Amino acid sequence: MTNPDTAGMARTLDDRYELVRRLGEGAMGIVYLARDLVLSIHVAVKVLRAEYSGMPEVVRMFEQEASLSARMLSPHVVRVLARTTTQAGLPCIVYEYLEGESVATRIERAPKLGLDEVCAIVLQTARALSRAHALGVVHRDVKPDNLFLVAQADSRAVLKMIDFGVAEELGRGAEGSGLVGTIAYLAPEALFGPGLPDERTDLYALGVVAYECLTGACPYPPECYDDLFGHMSASTRRSVRETRPELPAEIDAWMDRALHPDPSFRFGSARELAEELEAVLRTSTSAPRPRATRVSALRPRAPELACAA
């Protein structure tokens, strides 16, 4: 019987990866659960959508996703295991298969996370960004959906960054590529400024993620987007402590710097951003200092895929 999740696809890719079912899809690709017949493990196979096969720029971005992800070599970035093609010639990326939940799902389950858990999420994301930035790579789409919490046997979770589909190497991006990323997490210079984003745009996005984890909402709600620049410039963002008065006062000072509209006033590196948040945590009397990779136990309704399509 034909599996509707894999209809139109050969059952086995490259005589090695046996497709099991579709896991997810997005604008650029479709992701399948597959079994590696050589290693006897599950993997995630991301396949370029057929309608984009004749669009060189999209194919370039898809192939660049594989090459940039493979270079990260970080425990906090999803691993690329191989590249292959379908019988129809569509490029594929084979990723490690991760079980757990995204930070987005974690926020849905618990809209206001503890400062210790948020600190752990930020710390691990910062490690992934530190590696990327050291290699001259800007992720450009840091958001809860692209941060995945992988369940561990000891009830901890290890965070892995996924989806380098719109990442660019510094100095090599296309000026005319238009707005790239997810608007709620884009820094002002990425929305309104000339030129290309740099490492500080990723750090701004991580600040937005921290704010959302703590408050359950982004700093600037969707109804502000028509005049987002005005809202950012006028500092209309609600302070974290309006929603979470039990947190230390230093958290708002950290947010002011992380989300400053002028990139020159933000943290200078992912490491500095994370270390300063750890310092805020140490001032809190409501939470213990977290271990480096501590995130609360995962209890998702069902495992999610760790490779955005």
Q: Dihedrals φ, ψ of 264, to 5°?
A: -70, -15
How many Cβ atoms from other residues are within 10 Å of residue 153's Cβ? Answer: 5
- Residue 305 CA to residue 309 CA, distance in Å, equals 10
- Residue 287 CA to residue 273 CA, distance in Å, equals 19
Per the CB < 8 A criterion, the answer to whether 13 and 92 are in contact is yes
5, 14, 15, 141: which one is catalytic?
141
Does an H or E element contain 189, and which? helix 188-192
- Residue 201 CA to residue 183 CA, distance in Å, equals 12
Per the CB < 8 A criterion, the answer to whether 144 and 228 are in contact is no
Compute CA 101 distance to the chain's CA centroid, rounded to the nearest angstrom: 12
Per the CB < 8 A criterion, the answer to whether 124 and 271 are in contact is no
DSSP-derived secondary structure letter, 53: T
Q: Is residue 14 annotated as a catalytic residue, yes or no?
A: no
**Helix, strand or coil, per DSSP, at residue 148:** strand
Beta strand 29-36 with 12-13 is unpaired
Kindly state the tokens that stand for 163.
């989806």
DSSP-derived secondary structure letter, 145: G
- Whose structure tokens read 């929603």? 243
Active site residues: 141
